[in-house]
Structure 1
Amino acid sequence: MQGICVLPDGDRSRLSFLAAREAARRVRRAERGRQAIGTVRPRGVGVFRARAPLAVVLYAADREGRLVWQDPHTFALLEPPQDDMRGHRPRGWLRAVDRQWEFAMFLGPATLVMLSGLVVGLAWSPVLGILLALAAMLYAGALMTLTVCLLTLGWLRHILTRRTGDEAKDSVSFVHWTMPLCHCADAGRAPALLAAVADRLHRLMTIRVDRSTENLGAVAARVEIVEPLVCVLSGATGAGTEAAIIAASTGPPEAGITFLTRSSRSRIRRPKLIETGGGLALYLVATALLLVVQALGVYEGEREACEPVGDCAGRPATFGRAVLWFTYRLAFQSPPGIVPATTQTWVGGWADGLLGLTGLLLAGVTLRRAAAARKERLTDFRKDIDTVLSTSTVLLLVVTPAERNAVMAAVAGLTGVPASRRHLGYHTAFDLGVVKGARVMLAQSRPGSIEPGAATLTAQSLIDQLKPDYLLLVGVCYGLRERDHRLGDVLVCTQLRVMDHKKVVDYRWGEPAEIMRGDRVTPSVTLLDRCHHARLEEGVPGVHFGPMLSMNTLLDSAELRTRMAAAEPDAYGGEMEGSGVYAAAGKGKVDWIVVKAISNWGMAKNDDAEELAARNAAEFVADLLANGGLDRPPPRP
């Protein structure tokens, strides 16, 4: 499977390099630009940054579909999981330069100067060639010494400060997609940018799944993407952008990160216990190349020095013996029977001894850091991160515009962000944001439970697409106890009685008799418990728990109401959509409940109390969310 999935050509913006440079310039001038650039281009194992300059990073990301670009003022960068990156070599020189920037800056200048010295020494001036070779060796040695010093200081700082948050951030970045940069000069455009980011990640992951199944000779008919996007808050170039990320994310920010996710099934994966040892690997490669270049530069001189006297047997006068000599000198040793004849070779050998000592120190620091990293990833990862993505999805279903507006207003009072539309096939859902750890979605159905746009099929379709953990039917209803209750009081259903399913038989004197066959079902135990404790104090409006009737009839008849009250004397009220919600939720195995407020008494109906009832029901549900009772998915057997 490819570590990075490139979008088709028609989906790529093809950003010019000049535009990438302009975008990088705007990031540098932003409120938190330097901090954001440091997030994209972190320090490597030594002196240099681990990534190429920001313009190159943006240009390469655009070629791979990882740059969500709207204009030079509004864009975001996506990065694939690092463990996937390690399993696949970069394709193309641009990506190679970006990913191996530190390696290129470490070896590139030294190798270029060393080869130049070799050419100059052989073709023009041996003295100048030796000076160039020594300059390359000093450059490499100085960088390695600085690398060891920086690694040692970093290890000491890590021991003294114990910054476990950084370990947690590195761990999740290792196994999940990441957004290390989000630039939005106008914070008001940030929600639209984040929606585009979520859509782009979904498309990238879908392409990846399609390619994988195609390689297996299969076709994925339906794919649910559960990958959470790690949002590194230090990558936001402004305070407004950071606030928008937190508002749109799942769960509170911890350890400097938060998450965007489109599914309640998203979970953090444990990191693989791999310590890269990047500094040591870089040292070994650099040392091997340096030994080869040194051998190429001295064996000809050794041959010229020993051939006139005919004594080349014990000299490093061949390429193989020269490599062997310099390899032994890494440990301040000389190979048996080989003694150089030139000063150049002796100087290079002593320099290699210092290089070997540096490597020994580097190996010790690297091994110590590897052991510490493995231990911390095992012991601290779950403690630092699990609380961040303990998320659930709550679907609120309403029927009337008054109910919809009341729910939007109540939830917006908690989140502070406006609702955003999501068109899902036949239905439109509103993403109301995150309250505590719960992603709140809102949808509106047609009245009743029978017609195509009514509650049954609407709830079933939304359950299939949104995969909610909780489904709450919120709105207005009629009351059956006007002596005990008041208009605007909230009714929480403890048992739903389906009234439409009945058998009618002739009884006495030709009068029909009705035998009720509808289900009598109890809502979710978890939701009932959360509703019981949503408000600890009594007040106005009143909140009452009791049975509710559900039938596909808009009740405005005193006679029918009297008959229903006589048939179900303990019922508190009734409505039209609960039976459909119950049926869809039962089939989809989703926790459900009906929370509605009294707007009329089922007779002499008017709309005078509809807005009051809708507002009271919505505010009760908002209190339920604000208490954090729905932050986690319900326990499953």
Structure 2
Amino acid sequence: MAERPSIGDLRAAARRARAAESGSDVVRQLRPRTLGLIRTRGPIWLQLRRADRDGRLIWHGPGSYAMLRRPADRAVEGSGRLLRVLDRHWNLAIMVGEFLIFLVVACVLVAIRRTIGPTWTWLGLELVELLLLLAVVADQVVALLALAGRGLRALGRPRPRVDQVAAEQAPFEQWTMALCHHIGRPEQGHALLADVARRLTALGGADVALACPRDGITTRDMRARVAAWADDLDTGRPDPELSLRAPRQLPARSHRVTETGAFFFLWLGGVAAMAFAMATSVAGWERGACASPCAGRPVTFPAALEWVGHRLIWQYPDGLTAETFWSRSTGLIAGVFLPMTIAMAVVCLVFYLRYRRKLTGEYRRAIDEALRPRRLLLVVATPVERAAVLAQARRHGDAEAVLEFSEGHPVYRLGLIGGVDVLLAQVGMGITSPVSAAYSVPRLIDEWHPSHVIMVGICFGLHEERQRLGDVIVGRQLRVINVRAGETEDRDRGDVVTAGHQLVERFAVAEPPPGVRVWPGVLLSWDVLVDSSALREVLKARYPDAEGGEMEGAAVYASSVREGVSWIVVKGICDWAHNKTSNAQGLAATNAATLVLNLVAARAFAAPKARQNPSQTTQP
């Protein structure tokens, strides 16, 4: 990680972003012209400086950095207020600067009027004033023309796509990676995105999403890498205008006042405060205008409040009359609040009904998502198994795997394969060590909330007469070996469990690699490294229906069942439980990983598409 950048570094970084292949898109994204000739936001280096002060800049150097932005670019307590004003109101700052230049020049001309004479002083002042007016008028004319042009283009624009709407709305509602620039080796780009994920968790927590606008990324390679890294917004397009990285945890539902319609009560509070202020003013005006006695006039605060309250509902109180012009005008103004309150009540009711419909829709989507497999966790136990899965993921995925250490267990994010977010984690061998699957898998499930867990790797075979090295065993059932050894008999106390039915159904139709046979059946799981022909014969005699054995499946089964997650064990045969060597481990791991990843790529675990309501079908 590079040290904190200087202003010179930030200027160099901004120049590199502008000079990149998509630099013009980045400039339009970060510095739009919304109100005329002058850009609304400050220079890129100034935005980077502000982000660095707020801790939102992930800096690996001028050629590799990313800038995060809070929802609606909210201010942070303690951050530089001047930087924020300059950044967000650059056009106003320029206009104020032009006016200050006009004042300075005018003062100079007045100071030297005796030297240049009154005529030249007057001409100079008129010229400077004319230039200032021309700048203001030109800015406003361009703003009006741009507004008219946008309106005309909107008339012929087709219905906006999901990613286009999201690109416009997300910066106001979500954390945003406003700028991402990387030119260098791919692994350095993966490291930058991993640091972005860690910084987002540190700043916003584990329950925030990250929106990644395409136009904020400076190169095509990095756009493709970010699209694969943040792929939770299903737009059906290979190059979406916005990618979304979903939160690690389910965010808490926020109920904003403007969203629920509850601002009606704020309105009522404002009307009440206005009525109190009006009553205070009316009492003062009437008291100052009348001579004693002032019977029948609202000269006290309670009487004035009663009079204003009646005027709010278009009534006159009995026995009270305001005589001054200002009081009667205040009464007319008070009468305006009644129709405004009625209109506000209608608007708030509409907002509330929309809010209720939105909550209902979110509930239904949450139920649908709970029933749909969207995230798949692959678990391996050895470096050979991990390398095999990563190699197959590169064959099917659009980007390199990204290793994350943000919290808990290290995880490889393999990207979107077959419509599902695929994760890979390596655990320790066996089930008793502190890094074994028994301890790691529960944490992984709690952190990532996968719908399915698949143990992929190598095992030993029990039927050398019909099986071959490299064949794959799909454990439809898992028999956990836990033998009670007694004086007169040995008794099995381990579980015999069936894998998740959806996974069993999917692997029943999985296509194996050419020349590889798949053996679905019972797989033994024992926390013992079996390397004895005699012990193997005992296992074959005791469990005649078993196809092979391994060491970690029992922990995966126990952890997944407790969390209600579907699980299965798929492993390739690398030896025959005696005279062990590593010669066939790579072949066995590759065949098992190929079988699993081919099935994933065939969309066996993708969420089913929602059925379209015929009444909502749009005509071309």
TM-score of Structure 1 vs Structure 2, range by shorter chain = 0.5 to 0.7
Q: Secondary structure at the match of 1:593?
A: strand
* Superposition pairs of residues 200-215 of structure 1, within 5 angstroms: 200-206=199-205
Aligned residues: 493
Cα distance in 1, alignment partners of residues 28 and 123 from structure 2: 42
Maintained 8 Å contact 1:171/1:271: no
Maintained 8 Å contact 1:422/1:431: yes
In the other structure, the counterpart of 1:601 is 576
In the other structure, the counterpart of 2:507 is 531
In the other structure, the counterpart of 2:48 is 58
Of 566, 581, 596, the residue aligned with 1:591 is 566
Does the C-alpha gap of structure 1 residues 22 and 447 become closer, same or farther in structure 2, counting only changes over 3 Å?
closer
Does the C-alpha gap of structure 1 residues 191 and 28 become closer, same or farther in structure 2, counting only changes over 3 Å?
same
Maintained 8 Å contact 2:513/2:594: no
Q: Secondary structure at the match of 1:546?
A: strand
Of 236, 242, 257, the residue aligned with 1:257 is 242
Does the C-alpha gap of structure 1 residues 574 and 185 become closer, same or farther in structure 2, counting only changes over 3 Å?
closer
In the other structure, the counterpart of 1:553 is 528
1:52-74 Cα offsets, whole Å, 9 max, x none, are 12222222222212222222222
In the other structure, the counterpart of 2:177 is 179
2:99 paired with 1:101: no
Does the C-alpha gap of structure 1 residues 530 and 88 become closer, same or farther in structure 2, counting only changes over 3 Å?
farther
Cα distance in 1, alignment partners of residues 401 and 523 from structure 2: 31
Runs of 4+ in 1 over 6 A off after TM superposition: 86-90, 114-135, 266-274
RMSD of aligned alpha carbons: 4.4
Q: Secondary structure at the match of 2:196?
A: helix
Of 25, 30, 54, the residue aligned with 1:35 is 25
* Superposition pairs of residues 10-409 of structure 1, within 5 angstroms: 15-82=5-72, 85=74, 92-105=81-94, 109=98, 113=102, 139-162=135-158, 163-164=160-161, 165-188=163-186, 189-206=188-205, 225-251=206-232, 255-260=240-245, 263=248, 392-409=374-391
Cα distance in 2, alignment partners of residues 616 and 585 from structure 1: 24
Q: Secondary structure at the match of 1:198?
A: helix
Flag structure 2 segments of 5+ consecutive residues without an equivalent.
Answer: 260-353, 611-620
Moved more, 180-189 or 612-621: 180-189
| Amino acid in the other structure paired with 1:204 | L
Cα distance in 1, alignment partners of residues 538 and 153 from structure 2: 78
1:192-215 Cα offsets, whole Å, 9 max, x none, are 222222222222224xxxxxxxxx
Q: Secondary structure at the match of 1:146?
A: helix
In the other structure, the counterpart of 2:441 is 459
Cα distance in 1, alignment partners of residues 145 and 515 from structure 2: 68
Q: Secondary structure at the match of 2:546?
A: coil
Does the C-alpha gap of structure 1 residues 86 and 421 become closer, same or farther in structure 2, counting only changes over 3 Å?
closer
**Shift of the alpha carbon at 1:480?**
3.4
Q: Secondary structure at the match of 1:161?
A: coil
| Sequence identity (%) | 33
| Amino acid in the other structure paired with 2:528 | T
In the other structure, the counterpart of 2:498 is 522
Q: Secondary structure at the match of 1:23?
A: helix
1:8-48 Cα offsets, whole Å, 9 max, x none, are xxx99653333322222222222222222222112314433
Does the C-alpha gap of structure 1 residues 185 and 599 become closer, same or farther in structure 2, counting only changes over 3 Å?
closer
1:171-196 Cα offsets, whole Å, 9 max, x none, are 12221111222222325332222222
Cα distance in 1, alignment partners of residues 167 and 406 from structure 2: 33
Q: Secondary structure at the match of 1:598?
A: strand
Cα distance in 2, alignment partners of residues 196 and 50 from structure 1: 30
Cα distance in 2, alignment partners of residues 89 and 513 from structure 1: 70
TM norm structure 1: 0.66
1:411-460 Cα offsets, whole Å, 9 max, x none, are 22233655554458885444444434444433333332123333312323
In the other structure, the counterpart of 1:620 is 595
TM norm structure 2: 0.68
Moved more, 107-116 or 446-455: 107-116
Does the C-alpha gap of structure 1 residues 156 and 544 become closer, same or farther in structure 2, counting only changes over 3 Å?
farther
In the other structure, the counterpart of 2:489 is 512
1:317-358 Cα offsets, whole Å, 9 max, x none, are xxxxxxxxxxxxxxxxxxxxxxxxxxxxxxxxxxxxxxxxxx
In the other structure, the counterpart of 2:425 is 443
| Amino acid in the other structure paired with 1:245 | V
**Shift of the alpha carbon at 1:260?**
4.1
| Amino acid in the other structure paired with 2:82 | W
Does the C-alpha gap of structure 1 residues 442 and 14 become closer, same or farther in structure 2, counting only changes over 3 Å?
closer
In the other structure, the counterpart of 1:297 is none
**Shift of the alpha carbon at 1:541?**
0.8
Does the C-alpha gap of structure 1 residues 424 and 153 become closer, same or farther in structure 2, counting only changes over 3 Å?
closer
Cα distance in 2, alignment partners of residues 264 and 539 from structure 1: 40
Moved more, 185-194 or 428-437: 428-437
In the other structure, the counterpart of 1:347 is none
Maintained 8 Å contact 2:2/2:59: no
Cα distance in 2, alignment partners of residues 567 and 576 from structure 1: 18
**Shift of the alpha carbon at 1:558?**
4.5
